[in-house]
Structure 1
């Protein structure tokens, strides 16, 4: 090979001493750090406008480095001390006298014992303290040992900014299992549980604009934390390949999950093809194909940022792929798509094309998922339930419901579906035709479970077959004695609301598919079935919000008010939880103790509080817009004299001035006691939407103004270290504290740009 490698894994019992001596000798006689290596792409070469392009990374031409495939659950204390000594030695040695310094490093490494384990803040004799604090790999090892994902994510960003020579030397010095633990600890689902403050909440475009959430999501509606995670992982992958090493299958699976979390199907294809260049395709098994299909076709909710509107099957996408629509219907659907794009900024767009194209149009063809599924069966890989559920959702993106019923449900799960019948004619405009299916239980190869229920709701719900989805999950529950979990009911209720309300219902009607539109009472019917025995599901804030919006969409304000009061109670409980989190957070900052668990609790309580406020505010604004105005233009039982009482009860969720309609005109009330949203600036979001006009494709220029609003509900990053606890409670960031918090180190950069938590200072420079 012409290179020296450090083999620092534990040798098998009975290994001769001369073999151990030879391995240890090779460990500390490494090649000079000035050798010519390929440069891995870093943030300095990436574009500022968007994330790193995975396809722009060059492939490594070096040989393979064979290492053990087993990895330890955690790094031991002896390995920490040994790695620390190696990193210090590699910095302090003179490149012109490599042999002499290598002998000194050999002698110092022999004296390393269990008692030489140092803490991150403990000074080391003979080393520069500033260099130690600036060493991202050393701090990353301590974060890995403490299983602190937040601190490890911070050090990953610093690793990507390291000089190329230092990065390559660190990769050649550290044990191979250390990088395996990096990939395992920075899995997107681990980051979701430990770091992401938004968790599984969907951030709509209105909330993105009103609460100034540029620090949380980008213009495409993708959370910045996962884009930065993908960028750092790709830099590590490139550095490992340039040093002659190869990635294990678990690491490739983690990379594909990172690409999916960043909503980058092209990045998932690039990582999949990287296995061909490394000659590791023989390692592909069912799990690898499942992860690739999930990232390539965005079948997981995390991969679409929990936005069901992005996963919706549009009738315009079915044109000429599954069916053929008339030219007049296609023109109306294009106009509808243009109007919707004006209100959604760049949310859900494909980042690989210059014009405005929904990412779901990239997945509308049946060929790619079917070819991949056929290749899995041809190669004889094991078929698991998760793989079949992923294939179901991928085929559901193309509208291939007949293939799903015959090739998956009946062939593997033993669910035979007869031909669909409708209890009402399709030709009736606006009629909600409920689909009826005949289900039979046949011999199954894989026993259905809760995972199949979720896939059924996702597949048939996104295609507008709400009745079929409900009958299928009810059949699975009764046939196999599986209780329907809360998450399945939540997805079914939300899909029912999306399909029964504009603009989705309008698009299906424009396409002439009236059977896809549920009735107006469908949401309430699902609610009653969910909350009544034998299920008796207790709804939370999200389910209340869906039911309220369903009532308000039908101008049933009196029916919505009791549920709005329930949401206010839940919001007040969340405010109390937020206050407790603020006091714990402030106490830890004043004591100089920086605990990631306390920061995580504070961030999530803050985000959930602001999220609930915006949701109630949106419902209150809908109530005021639907108040009676003049004559019979508004048919509702909510009279004008009740408006003052409504404003008094829900005034905390209204913006200044409060605007509503009366029979004589529009009224705007300005209350000095309420907060005023101040406009501080804005920018234009410009897009080119393709339109077909007179048999010619043209690009229609769309411009939308994004205003920056300053308020106590804004997610703009602030410096909490200069604030009083009362300012944190009120979110009045203009108030400064006269008593500064504990500062033991200079101000450092935040962990990641998408975190809404303010910056603060703790005991160590590596704390987040």
Structure 2
């Protein structure tokens, strides 16, 4: 019996109870607490005691022996007290390795976040963390002026404004609502509020703005078309006695000439015709006409007053300066002044060019060195000519001038210049109806075929322009008005191919962004909260850049998709195309188009035929139920009339 008790005590002593007590340095460890054999007066040693070789041998021997729960066998002897003590001491030495304590890194301070974002060129992150850190007066006071200047330059409108502005140029207010995105005027207003706040922070730190800072602020005002902000910045420059340079003058003049262009629907109100000019002279202009005024205290006199001041200060103008002078003249219809600037600056005689049958008889243009001359023409001059003459209802002169200057100075005509020419050609060729026929739009009216002529010119050698989806959108509308179904379908096919490319670009950008985010998150497994936070900050550079490309490609894809859907509605809505032999259009062609481009079709398809009106749901599974429901609703609204409908064509 004594043998059984001692063996049971040995078994109990091997059972380690795992707990998590705190050590002296407050770190977490695993310890093996040993039981006390009170009957034998045996006490366990401290867990830090190491087992001797004898203890290890005794432990090994005890584990090899079988444990019996019966009484002592014949010839057996009870284990000695010394052996039991050795077993317990061996178990005491057999402890679990303590777990390593994880050091918690200190979170980044506001100053560290700002300088980290600045060093890694994280534009949006820098704007966010700097505005948060601006609450710390001591931190703001400690930032050197050069660093504050660099922070301002990181918030460049070329990153925050220009890409969005370029995308919104072809979006109406209705399209913006349909896409569910912020209007451009809201985007630029938020951006300018941030810039003003950063400027106040700079002044609060008792760091006066220098020429570089004011140049950047004027660039921001020019990018968003905020003439009031440009006026305020200019007054601050004069108060701080900062002498503006050519770039400052150009930014200020551009903010004046392009005031309010960020608002949707204002581009075509720049067209010079009696109604628009009258609206810009009223005491309270209607929405869309607030950007600038004409005649008395108008845009022309304001810009020339600033130009005269520029000359008096001895500041030399460049190509952009003279293009802005011409733009201000063009805003008020002073085309003689525009031609005079072209003659004096580049020796381009517009009237002689239009009359000349042979360009070799014209006086040569001013020879300029592209590397050294500030007046050497480029994209700015070509775009200004396209815009000024186009908005003044003279597209033929605009096309002739752009082509002539580009050849004389060996300039490749960029896509944005062709897009400007094509847009004004479309505007001037579109017929007006209703009251709009009497407010002056007939000035400079072009034939509908002018759009096709310009399209053929720019897409053929030597130009070989590749139009974008907005240009296809205008051309498809023009062909629709001209009832040219064959060419319309061909251009739609090409436009849908461009849309497919934008979808592929979006998917590539989306995959890159998603994989980067997943990789960063996956690398944080097992990290503490502070370590994950630090990893997010360190990985925000590629994530921010990839997210920017992802968002822009998503907007381009959505814009293109809505334009293609608009083409489908033109095919289906209202107009009955030439049926052809045996009504081929309504019996064969249109059903094939619906089947081919089903993903772009509206959910409810309706169109007229020679035998009635066809209505059906583009989703086959719901077609029968929804068609019957629509029929019941129409019958209930008009019970006294019988609605004749043709059986829905099969699109299977």
Judge same fold: TM > 0.5, yes or no: yes
Match of 2:308 in 1: 374
Determine which structure has the larger helix proportion and give its number: 2
Match of 2:489 in 1: 561
Residue 672 in structure 1 maps to residue 619 in structure 2: yes
CA contact (8 A) 1:200 1:306 kept: no
Aligned residue runs from structure 1 range 153-552, under 5 A = 153-158=127-132, 162-163=134-135, 166=136, 168-192=137-161, 196=164, 199=167, 202-213=170-181, 216-217=182-183, 221-224=184-187, 226-280=188-242, 283-298=243-258, 308-309=267-268, 311-319=270-278, 356-360=287-291, 362=293, 365=298, 366-406=300-340, 408-418=341-351, 440-441=363-364, 443=366, 446-502=375-431, 510-512=438-440, 514-552=442-480
CA-CA distance at 1:457 after TM superposition = 0.7
Look up the SS of the partner of 2:349 in the other structure. strand
Query: Quick one: distance in 1 between partners of 2:446 and 2:307?
Result: 32
Query: Quick one: distance in 2 between partners of 1:138 and 1:460?
Result: 53
Query: Quick one: distance in 2 between partners of 1:148 and 1:391?
Result: 37
Look up the SS of the partner of 1:598 in the other structure. helix
Match of 1:745 in 2: none
CA contact (8 A) 2:273 2:441 kept: no
1:233-289 CA-to-partner distances (Å, cap 9, x unmatched) read 111212222343311222212212222333322122112112233232xx1121111
Residue 611 in structure 1 maps to residue 544 in structure 2: no
The aligned length equals 487
CA-CA distance at 1:294 after TM superposition = 0.7
Look up the SS of the partner of 1:669 in the other structure. strand
> What is the TM-score normalised by the length of structure 2?
0.67
Judged with a 3 Å threshold, the aligned counterparts in structure 2 of structure 1 residues 519 and 535 are, in CA distance, closer, same or farther, namely same
CA-CA distance at 1:311 after TM superposition = 3.9
> What is the TM-score normalised by the length of structure 1?
0.57
Judged with a 3 Å threshold, the aligned counterparts in structure 2 of structure 1 residues 360 and 675 are, in CA distance, closer, same or farther, namely farther
Query: Quick one: distance in 2 between partners of 1:149 and 1:306?
Result: 30
Judged with a 3 Å threshold, the aligned counterparts in structure 2 of structure 1 residues 369 and 493 are, in CA distance, closer, same or farther, namely same
Q: Runs of 5+ in structure 2 lacking a partner?
A: 1-102, 369-374, 522-538, 624-652
Judged with a 3 Å threshold, the aligned counterparts in structure 2 of structure 1 residues 211 and 191 are, in CA distance, closer, same or farther, namely closer
CA-CA distance at 1:386 after TM superposition = 1.2
Judged with a 3 Å threshold, the aligned counterparts in structure 2 of structure 1 residues 619 and 320 are, in CA distance, closer, same or farther, namely closer
Q: Which has the higher contact order (CA 8 A, sep 6+)?
A: 1
Judged with a 3 Å threshold, the aligned counterparts in structure 2 of structure 1 residues 271 and 319 are, in CA distance, closer, same or farther, namely same
CA contact (8 A) 1:256 1:292 kept: yes
Match of 2:591 in 1: 644
Judged with a 3 Å threshold, the aligned counterparts in structure 2 of structure 1 residues 356 and 600 are, in CA distance, closer, same or farther, namely closer
CA-CA distance at 1:228 after TM superposition = 1.9
Query: Quick one: distance in 1 between partners of 2:286 and 2:380?
Result: 36
Query: Quick one: distance in 1 between partners of 2:202 and 2:269?
Result: 35
CA contact (8 A) 1:558 1:637 kept: no
**Structure of greater Rg:** 2
Look up the SS of the partner of 1:237 in the other structure. helix
CA-CA distance at 1:562 after TM superposition = 0.8
Query: Quick one: distance in 2 between partners of 1:559 and 1:662?
Result: 22
Query: Quick one: distance in 2 between partners of 1:625 and 1:537?
Result: 31
Judged with a 3 Å threshold, the aligned counterparts in structure 2 of structure 1 residues 248 and 370 are, in CA distance, closer, same or farther, namely same
Query: Quick one: distance in 2 between partners of 1:238 and 1:501?
Result: 49
1:183-240 CA-to-partner distances (Å, cap 9, x unmatched) read 21111013347x8597575321221122222xx22xxx4251x322211111121222
Residue 653 in structure 1 maps to residue 613 in structure 2: no
Judged with a 3 Å threshold, the aligned counterparts in structure 2 of structure 1 residues 199 and 542 are, in CA distance, closer, same or farther, namely closer
Look up the SS of the partner of 1:418 in the other structure. helix
Judged with a 3 Å threshold, the aligned counterparts in structure 2 of structure 1 residues 384 and 245 are, in CA distance, closer, same or farther, namely same
Aligned residue runs from structure 1 range 649-728, under 5 A = 649-663=596-610, 666-672=613-619
Judged with a 3 Å threshold, the aligned counterparts in structure 2 of structure 1 residues 305 and 147 are, in CA distance, closer, same or farther, namely farther
Look up the SS of the partner of 1:659 in the other structure. strand
Query: Quick one: distance in 2 between partners of 1:495 and 1:311?
Result: 11
Aligned residue runs from structure 1 range 734-749, under 5 A = none
Judged with a 3 Å threshold, the aligned counterparts in structure 2 of structure 1 residues 261 and 674 are, in CA distance, closer, same or farther, namely farther
Superposed CA RMSD:
3.7
CA contact (8 A) 2:386 2:398 kept: yes
Match of 1:586 in 2: 514
Match of 2:648 in 1: none
CA contact (8 A) 2:603 2:618 kept: yes
1:141 to 104, 110, 115: 115
1:83-141 CA-to-partner distances (Å, cap 9, x unmatched) read xxxxxxxxxxxxxxxxxxxxxxxxxxxxxxxxxxxxxxx9766xxx3xx46x2x53222
